[in-house]
């Protein structure tokens, strides 16, 4: 029994020894077989660390080089792209003239000149940009008012763009010189007069004589800015009086001074000085003054007035005038000036949210035909009254009904196959401004 126990114990110890020997004998092999992957892992980690370090170094170098490159050639950022605004305007009309001129053409006006037919007074496409440092506008145009306004442009120059100028409403660029100071150069709207060429911006559809016979556009340069919060100014150097192509060797100019003592009250003084005679004729310098007042007693009512005084030197002591017996020359004082006077009064009242009425009274005196040539005895001496009823369902849409009455001292207005002292018309118009 004891032998059997010993024998069993011996067998148990041998099994344990053999098992443990196999176990301990396999451990070195395991270490040997697993040692190689561990070395590979360590080596790969070192290689990855070196690669990451190299990448960081390269990225840093690229970043430094990129900064240097940007300093040398700055990149244009998308958020710095100038905001360009595109616009569209069309003004169509039907002029029912009671004078019914045989030629269908009206005289002494630039607006709605075609009678008893539907036509386009003004249409344009424009693009404009304005930033803190620069600005500009380019607009192309078409219409009967364009033909009427550009009738004074010359047609003799070969390289002066005279044939295409009429289709260019504005083309100018400007740069900011100070906090509120701008310098613009090119073709741009004139600074004289209260009413704009764009009918959508006026109370009355047609224009007063004093607006029609001052420059709607000029070519040159202007400097504008503010003297204080209530006073602003403009200085102009131009080729001439509503011309792009100059007709003489002289430079014209003028200024605007505007004072806003209250938020609803404005006073403006515009001037023009320049010789408007062609080069072959004797020089006659014109001095034009335009005074404007605008008052808005409350939001729906606007009152405005303007008074114009113009003088022009005489090149000769003899003036050609027309009498019923025929043209004759009258000797004048050589130191005297030709004179023109004009006065206007406007009232605009928005009596309903979508309805407005505008009234204009005017008087224009150019007896010596300094600006308006009629070839009659008393020259151009005319009074008038105009009323416009506006329907404004949307800021972009304007439907207008206008009645205009004008009376001249001489018979100058086309009337069927003759002329008349009266000029009366009804005008329907619709404009869209986007």
CB neighbour list of residue 405: distance below 8 Å, 6 or more residues apart: 384, 385, 386, 422, 423, 424
**Pairing between β-strand 326-331 and β-strand 318-323 as defined by DSSP bridges:** antiparallel
End position of a domain, from candidates 47, 75, 103: 75
d(CA 413, CA 416): 10
End position of a domain, from candidates 75, 108, 132: 75
Report the CATH number that the domain containing residue 274 is assigned in CATH: 2.40.160.10
Task: Give the per-residue pLDDT at 51.
Answer: 55
Task: Give the per-residue pLDDT at 338.
Answer: 86
Same domain, 89 and 47: no
253 in a structural domain = yes
Same domain, 195 and 156: yes
Task: Give the per-residue pLDDT at 69.
Answer: 47
28 in a structural domain = yes
Predicted model pTM: 0.76
Task: Give the per-residue pLDDT at 55.
Answer: 56
Task: Give the per-residue pLDDT at 317.
Answer: 57
Same domain, 357 and 333: yes
CB neighbour list of residue 293: distance below 8 Å, 6 or more residues apart: 266, 267, 268, 304, 305, 306
Same domain, 46 and 97: no
Task: Give the per-residue pLDDT at 376.
Answer: 86
141 in a structural domain = yes
End position of a domain, from candidates 17, 48, 75: 75
434 residues of the chain, pLDDT tens digit each: 444 445 455 555 555 445 444 444 444 443 443 444 444 444 555 555 555 556 555 555 555 544 444 444 555 545 567 789 999 999 999 999 998 888 888 889 999 999 999 999 999 999 999 999 999 999 999 999 999 998 877 666 666 666 678 899 999 999 999 899 999 999 999 999 999 999 999 999 999 999 999 999 999 999 999 999 999 999 999 998 888 888 788 889 999 999 999 999 999 999 999 988 877 777 889 999 999 999 999 999 999 999 999 999 877 655 555 566 666 555 555 557 889 999 999 999 999 999 999 999 999 999 988 888 888 888 899 999 999 999 999 999 999 999 999 999 999 998 888 889 999 999 999 999 99
411 in a structural domain = yes
Same domain, 109 and 225: yes
Residue 401: is it exposed, middle or buried by C-beta count within 10 angstroms (0-12/13-18/19+)? middle
276 in a structural domain = yes
Same domain, 419 and 361: yes
Same domain, 68 and 163: no
Same domain, 5 and 105: no
Same domain, 316 and 183: yes
114 in a structural domain = yes
The dihedral formed by the CA atoms of 101, 104, 109 and 112, expressed in degrees to the nearest 10: 130
Same domain, 204 and 287: yes
Domain count, the chain: 2
Same domain, 224 and 302: yes
Asked whether 199 and 275 are in contact (CB, 8 A), the reply is no
80 in a structural domain = no
Residue ranges in 73-196 assigned as alpha helix (H)? 144-149
Same domain, 69 and 167: no
CB neighbour list of residue 4: distance below 8 Å, 6 or more residues apart: none
| Full residue range of the structural domain in which residue 63 is found | 1-75
Closest CA to 421 of 377, 358, 386, 389: 377
């Amino acid at each position: 029994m004891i032998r059997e126990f010993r024998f069993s114990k011996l067998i148990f110890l041998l099994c344990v020894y053999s098992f443990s020997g196999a176990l301990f004998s396999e451990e070195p092999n395991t270490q040997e077989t697993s040692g190689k992957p561990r070395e590979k892992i360590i080596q790969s980690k070192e290689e990855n660390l070196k690669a990451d370090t190299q990448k960081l170094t390269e990225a840093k170098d690229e970043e430094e080089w990129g900064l240097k490159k940007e300093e040398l050639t700055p990149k244009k950022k998308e958020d710095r792209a100038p905001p360009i605004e595109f616009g569209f305007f069309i003004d169509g009309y039907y002029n029912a003239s009671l004078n019914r001129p045989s030629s269908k053409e009206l005289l002494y006006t630039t607006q709605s000149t075609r009678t008893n037919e539907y036509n386009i007074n003004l249409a344009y496409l424009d693009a404009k940009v304005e930033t803190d440092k620069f600005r500009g506008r380019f607009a192309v145009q078409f219409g009967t008012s364009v033909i009427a306004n550009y009738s004074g442009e010359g047609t003799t120059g070969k390289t002066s763009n005279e044939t295409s100028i009429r289709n260019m409403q504005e083309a100018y660029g400007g740069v900011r010189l100070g906090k509120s100071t701008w310098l613009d150069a090119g073709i741009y709207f004139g600074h004289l007069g209260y009413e704009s060429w764009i009918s959508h911006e006026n109370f009355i559809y047609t224009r007063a004589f004093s607006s029609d016979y001052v420059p709607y556009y000029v070519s040159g340069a202007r400097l504008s800015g503010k003297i204080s919060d209530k006073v602003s100014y403009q200085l102009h150097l131009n080729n001439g009086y509503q011309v792009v192509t100059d007709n003489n060797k002289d430079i014209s100019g003028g200024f605007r001074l505007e004072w806003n003592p209250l938020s609803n009250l404005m006073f403006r003084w515009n001037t023009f000085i320049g010789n408007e005679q062609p080069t072959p004729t004797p020089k006659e310098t014109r001095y034009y003054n335009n005074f404007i007042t605008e008052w808005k007693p409350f939001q729906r009512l606007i009152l405005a007035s303007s008074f114009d005084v113009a003088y022009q030197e005489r090149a000769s002591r003899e003036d050609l005038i027309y009498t019923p017996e025929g043209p004759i020359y009258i000797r004048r004082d050589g130191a005297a000036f030709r004179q023109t006077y004009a006065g206007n009064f406007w009232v605009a009242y928005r009596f309903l949210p979508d309805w407005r009425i505008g009234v204009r009274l005017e008087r224009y005196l150019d007896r010596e035909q300094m600006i308006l040539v009629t070839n009659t005895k008393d020259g151009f001496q005319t009074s008038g009254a105009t009323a416009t009823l506006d329907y404004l369902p949307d800021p972009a849409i304007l439907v207008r009904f206008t009645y205009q009455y004008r009376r001249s001292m001489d018979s100058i207005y086309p009337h069927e196959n003759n002329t008349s002292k009266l000029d009366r018309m009804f005008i329907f118009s619709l404009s869209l401004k986007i």
